[in-house]
Structure 1
């Protein structure tokens, strides 16, 4: 990823951080939908430089900044994020597109969406159908199942689906990667992909 653009969220007394994140991610989602390919993938990635999982009495936190990455500068220009964030301009600081300085890269990481594990009965039925297991075998597999502690530590952004008109949590997982590897630099319409290494700086 050769180019990036930073957006810093500036909450106020009337607009809180959680509400602002919801609006920013919705606008980013709509912008990425506009430039997605036929496979519903976009060429722009999202990273969260101040991301923190919950630990030692500190709550999970997405941070106050989103960093957009692209291999080509033209992809960020085509995204034209200023246009999409126009109504939020009083609450955001959007920097211009910059080139990644390799000397400042401290490592690599990826960000992906995590879905909440479903209820046990649903997962039992899926295992029965997908793996051709009996009800007893599938039930035994999920014996003692609990929502993982890992999932509970992850930060999320409260979103609203424009299609189904219902709220959902966009849960975000960060993974530290050893190095950047050659791969297809494509992302979902939130700019997330667990397999693509993004520079950390």
Structure 2
């Protein structure tokens, strides 16, 4: 992870930054999936405190070769009017590191009840007793709203920026550029 590339959302009177970031993340997911790469990570340098959005900047981290391969794929089709692509740059020396990962939250009690009925043969009433409507969990992490390509359902991808670390941790990244083990440079 010696290089990075910043993608800055441009202000748009018709679309909120959260909507544009969702569209950008969807395009990135498709690009990383098509490339079958697990060596490109992401971060959101403009992320604010808990409950706030992801900001207006997406930073891609990886080797120069990996980032060039992603750009050559032309995955930004349809977003060029909404994004300013920075120059491929070297990570500053002395940068700290942090893990940027997905946090999955089961916030839908109805779905949890259906799963309970299917897996354990309970009646709907028994499932409702075990999982009441007020059992929904709330998450204050920033998120982006995406649509699944496999089942066409929308979902929230909650993203957590872990604590700062002095050294990099190796690992692989998923097709969203997130990892439960690997870190990305933070500066």
Same fold judged by TM-score > 0.5? yes
2:170 aligned partner: 183
Structure 1 SS opposite 2:87: coil
User: Which has more helix, going by share of residues?
Assistant: 1
Alignment of 1:115-154 (within 5 A): 115-117=104-106, 119=109, 121=113, 152-154=139-141
* Shift of residue 91, structure 1, vs aligned partner: 1.0
Is contact 1:4–1:100 with CA below 8 Å preserved after alignment? yes
Q: Unaligned regions of 5+ residues in structure 2, if any?
A: 121-129
Residue 42 (structure 2) aligned to one of 41, 46, 56: 46
* Shift of residue 181, structure 1, vs aligned partner: 3.9
Is contact 1:180–1:198 with CA below 8 Å preserved after alignment? no
* Cα pair distance change 1:52/1:81, threshold 3 Å: farther
Residue 166 (structure 1) aligned to one of 146, 153, 156: 153
Structure 2 SS opposite 1:90: coil
Question: In 2, distance between residues paired with 1:7 and 1:112?
Answer: 19
1:111 aligned partner: 100
C-alpha RMSD over aligned residues: 2.8
So what's the TM-score if we normalise by structure 2?
0.80
Is contact 2:168–2:185 with CA below 8 Å preserved after alignment? no
Structure 1 SS opposite 2:182: strand
So what's the TM-score if we normalise by structure 1?
0.75
Is contact 1:112–1:173 with CA below 8 Å preserved after alignment? yes
Question: In 2, distance between residues paired with 1:167 and 1:49?
Answer: 25
Is contact 2:31–2:73 with CA below 8 Å preserved after alignment? no
Q: Unaligned regions of 5+ residues in structure 1, if any?
A: 129-138
2:89 aligned partner: 98
Is contact 1:82–1:94 with CA below 8 Å preserved after alignment? no
Report the count of equivalent residues.
175
| CA deviation vs aligned residue, 1:72-95 (integer Å, no higher than 9, x gap) | 210001111782113211111101
* Cα pair distance change 1:63/1:121, threshold 3 Å: same
